[in-house]
Amino acid sequence: MISQFRDWEENRHVYAKNWKEKTGGKVIGYFCTYVPEEILYAAGILPVRILGSHEPQDVTEPHIFGMFCPFCRDCLAQGLKGRYDYLDGVMISQSCLHIRQAYTSWVKHVPQSFSYYLPMPNNVQSKHAVPYLAAELKTFKSAVEKWIGKEITNDDLKRGIDIMNENRSLMHSLYSFKKNDSPPVSGEDTMQVAMSQQMVDKREHSPQLKKLVEELEAGAFSTVNKGTRLMILGSEDDDIPFVRMVESVGGSVVIDDHCVGTRYFWNNVNVNGGDLMESIAKRYIERPACPSKDWVERSRIPHLLNLAKEFRVKGAIVIQQKFCDPHELDIPAIIKTFNANDIKTLFLEFDVTVPLGQFKIRVEAFLEMLQEDDLF
């Protein structure tokens, strides 16, 4: 069952090209998970998240100053190398400054027929954020309509919302198995499912995911991991080899808080007969926040603690893309709170490629430390 998700993730570009050929539809690349995919699905467009390839590169050196995060440079590299040459458009929803540079350089050096900068509000704790975003979503919808030459109706929007909600709900079902004492699905496999979710038509992804959930419910999978229960939290993380390594030395990643995992799918659009754009806006305003938007109050900390308790983690690996300012501004407060709640933490700094050998030693030491708690 997982092999299909792995195949999608590993062959993401082949999938998107085939999708275009099969449907004749447009594909849009997006740079941040605050992009309202509901509207794109309503328009019949396939949204694919632009991610890096974890290969050393130098093509972005003339475009992005080296003090910005490796993830944004890796993403831009994909565009400059022509790996997303099938895209019809690109867009970003305003979040951190780092990924914004990948978008602005892409727009200039990898020309598209459509590009859009959605000024997603940063003050998500303000009561004015929802009406403002709802108005911006209407403007965005008009821009998409102009581009595709077709009106997006309310029925289309409802369909877009349903497609997204169904997929998110299924992801919740998948994650719920990870609360088991012996989770029947590994952190690596979960990450494959989560990543493919961001690059595959959700109308194909959801049925496959539903099958997986049904098989898990039926107990078709034997227990795959009895390792020490861990949480991974922090910056963007699509580093599958890292998770594989952690689980190979006795860890079991049962929950995460990053934008390739739960932050992407955690909440649904609630349609209660009101304005659809306002409902979509509310979903994005109320989702678990990216640290760049988590002010004045620190809403992330109680959310993270809840996740840690609900999934009964023994320790947390706090990862940070090198130079990622928003996370650097949250990490000291998170580590302090976790430690005060008897959840030990291991901090690791990520780059385009990670030193797996060195990290393995540190993860092993961390796991030994956590296991000592059981002995004494």
Partner 1 sequence: MAVPTYKTEQLKCWNKAKELRMDFYKNYANAHDKGGLRWAGGAWSFGAIPAGLGNDIFPITGEPYAAGIAFNKEFSLRCLEASEKKGYARDLCSYMRTYWGSIILDEYLYGGKFPKPDFMWQDHICCSHAKWYQVANELEGGGIPTHIIDVAVGPYRDVTEGRIDYILSQMHEGIEWLEKVTGREYNDDLLIEAVHNECRATSVWAEVCQLNKAVPAPLDEKSMYSLYVLGTLEKHSKSVADFYEELRDEVKYRVENQISATPHERCRLMSDTQPPWGFLNVFRYLEGFGAVSIGSLYTFGLIGVWEDKPDGSWGPRTTPKQKGIKIETRDQALRILADWNLSKPEWQHFYSPHIKSDMMIRIAKEWKLDGILLHYNRGCEGLSLGIAENRLALIDAGYPVMTFEGNMGDEREFDEAKTMGRIDSFMETLGMKEIK
Q: Which of 47, 89, 288, 291 binds partner 1 (CB under 8 A)?
A: 291
Both tokens of 88, joined, read 């019809």
Q: Which is nearer to partner 1, 253 or 324 (CB)?
A: 324
Q: Which of 94, 165, 208, 225 binds partner 1 (CB under 8 A)?
A: 94
- How far is Cα 158 from Cα 84, in angstroms, rounded to an integer? 29
Q: Give Cα separations from 157 to 41, 85, 356 (angstroms).
A: 8, 28, 44
Both tokens of 342, joined, read 């008897």
Contact 265, 171 (CB under 8 A): yes
- How far is Cα 302 from Cα 133, in angstroms, rounded to an integer? 25
Q: What H or E segment, with its residue span, contains residue 285?
A: helix 276-286
Nearest to 129 by CA among 298, 290, 281, 294: 281
Spell out the residues 6+ positions from residue 14 whose beta carbon is closer than 8 angstroms to its own. none
Q: Which is nearer to partner 1, 104 or 169 (CB)?
A: 104
Q: Which is nearer to partner 1, 97 or 369 (CB)?
A: 97
Q: Is 375 in the site for partner 1 (CB under 8 A)?
A: no
Nearest to 319 by CA among 228, 252, 239: 239
Q: Which is nearer to partner 1, 7 or 351 (CB)?
A: 351
Q: Mark the segment that binds partner 1 (CB under 8 A) among 34-42, 158-166, 176-184, 332-340.
A: 332-340
Q: Mark the segment that binds partner 1 (CB under 8 A) among 257-265, 310-318, 325-333, 367-375.
A: 325-333
Q: Is 288 in the site for partner 1 (CB under 8 A)?
A: no
Q: Mark the segment that binds partner 1 (CB under 8 A) among 58-66, 140-148, 150-158, 207-215.
A: 58-66
CB burial of residue 285 (10 Å; 0-12, 13-18, 19+): buried
Q: How far is the CB of 59 from partner 1 (least distance, A)?
A: 12
Q: Is 151 in the site for partner 1 (CB under 8 A)?
A: no
At 47 the three-state DSSP class reads: strand
Q: Which of 3, 22, 58, 67 binds partner 1 (CB under 8 A)?
A: 67
Q: Which is nearer to partner 1, 122 or 268 (CB)?
A: 122
Both tokens of 306, joined, read 């809840």
Contact 30, 49 (CB under 8 A): yes
**Size of the chain in residues:** 376
Q: Mark the segment that binds partner 1 (CB under 8 A) among 144-152, 162-170, 244-252, 319-327.
A: 319-327
Q: Is 42 in the site for partner 1 (CB under 8 A)?
A: no
Beta bridge partners of 231: 255, 316
Q: Mark the segment that binds partner 1 (CB under 8 A) among 35-43, 122-130, 152-160, 249-257.
A: 122-130
Nearest to 44 by CA among 133, 148, 178, 185: 148
Both tokens of 11, joined, read 């062959």
Q: Which of 136, 156, 238, 256 binds partner 1 (CB under 8 A)?
A: 136
Q: Is 325 in the site for partner 1 (CB under 8 A)?
A: yes
Q: How far is the CB of 325 from partner 1 (least distance, A)?
A: 5
Q: Is 4 in the site for partner 1 (CB under 8 A)?
A: no
Q: Is 298 in the site for partner 1 (CB under 8 A)?
A: yes
Interface residues toward partner 1, by CB under 8 A: 61-65, 67-68, 94, 96-98, 100-101, 104-105, 107-108, 117, 119, 121-123, 126-129, 132, 135-136, 139, 291-292, 295-296, 298, 323, 325-326, 328-333, 335
